[in-house]
Amino acid sequence: MPTDDFAIVAEDLGVQYSLRFHRNQSVQRTLSRWLSRDRVEPFWALRHVHVRVTHGESLAVIGPNGAGKSTLLQVLAGIIAPSEGRLEARGQISGLLTLGAGFDVDLSGRENILLAGAFLGLDDRVTRELLPGIVEYADLGQFIDAPLKTYSSGMRARLGFAIATSVDPDILLLDEVLATGDATFRAKSKARVLQLVGDAKAVVLVTHDMAWVKEYCNRAILIEEGRVIIEGEPDEVVETHQRNTEATRKRKAEEAKAAGLAPVIAGRGR
C-alpha cells in the first residue's frame, strides 16, 4: 500500500474523559468531591487506536454500543481533539457529524443548506448552485421550506446526507445514516457511497448493518471498550463481532441467573 496514498492516518489515538465532572452531578456534590480530593480514575473512550484509510476505500467501524465508535468519528472529523496520539488527514472532510453541528432548528431546510455551505467554507455562489440538486436529492417535498424542528430524525439525516455528499468530499464520515429513512432512500444513499468509493474517495462509516459491511466495505475494524480488537476483511471482522456479542450475551445471562435475576416466566400472583 503506497505510503503517500492515504486519506487518514491515526496513530496511537487516545481520548480521555474525567468522570469527576459528570453533567448529572450537582454543583455542590462536584465541589465537595473536588475539595475532598477523592480519587477518580480517568475514563479512556479510546486508547492506542491505529487507523489508516486510503483513497478509494470504504472502512466500516463496528462494535457494541458504548465501544467508542462515534467518538472515533468525531476525532476524525476534528470535533474532538485527541488526548494523545497523532492524526493526519488529506483532503476535504465532509459528514453528518460536522454538518449536524451547524444546523439551526429554527431555520428551514433550504436555509440550513445555505448555512451548512458557509459552515463547510463554500462560497455563497457555489452553495446556491448546488442548492437545487441538494433539494432534489433530499426529496423532502414541501418540508424543505419548513423549520428543521418539525423534521423527524430520518428527514434530518436525508437533508444532511444530501448536503454532505453534494460537495464531492475527499473523505466522507457517516454515523448510522444508512439505517435511517425509508428503503428507497437507503438504497439511494448506498449507491452514492459506492459512487464516492469508485471515484477514489475515502469513506468511513459507523454502522450496525452487518450485511452492508460485508457487501459494500473494503475493510472493517472492530472496537470494544475503546480499543481496536481486530482489523481486516469485512467477513472476518463481522464474524468476530458476532461471536463476541453472543459470548457477552451468554455471560450476562449466566451472571443474572447466578444473582437471582433470571427473567420471570410465570405470571404475577403465583
Q: Can you give the pLDDT at residue 40?
A: 62
Kindly list the domain boundaries of the chain, sorted by start residue: 1-18+42-91+204-248
The phi-psi region of residue 68 (left if phi > 0; otherwise alpha if psi is between -120 and 50; otherwise beta) is left
* CATH number at 1-18+42-91+204-248: 3.40.50.300
Q: How far apart are CA 71 and CA 100, in angstroms?
A: 15
Q: Can you give the pLDDT at residue 137?
A: 93
Q: Can you give the pLDDT at residue 30?
A: 54
This prediction's pTM: 0.79
Q: Can you give the pLDDT at residue 2?
A: 43
Residues with Cβ within 8 Å of residue 13, at least 6 apart in sequence: 46, 48, 49, 50, 51, 72, 75, 82, 84, 85, 86, 87
Q: Can you give the pLDDT at residue 25?
A: 52
pLDDT mean values, one per 10 residues, the chain (270 residues): 74 86 53 58 91 93 94 91 94 75 88 88 91 94 96 88 87 78 80 86 91 91 96 96 94 85 52
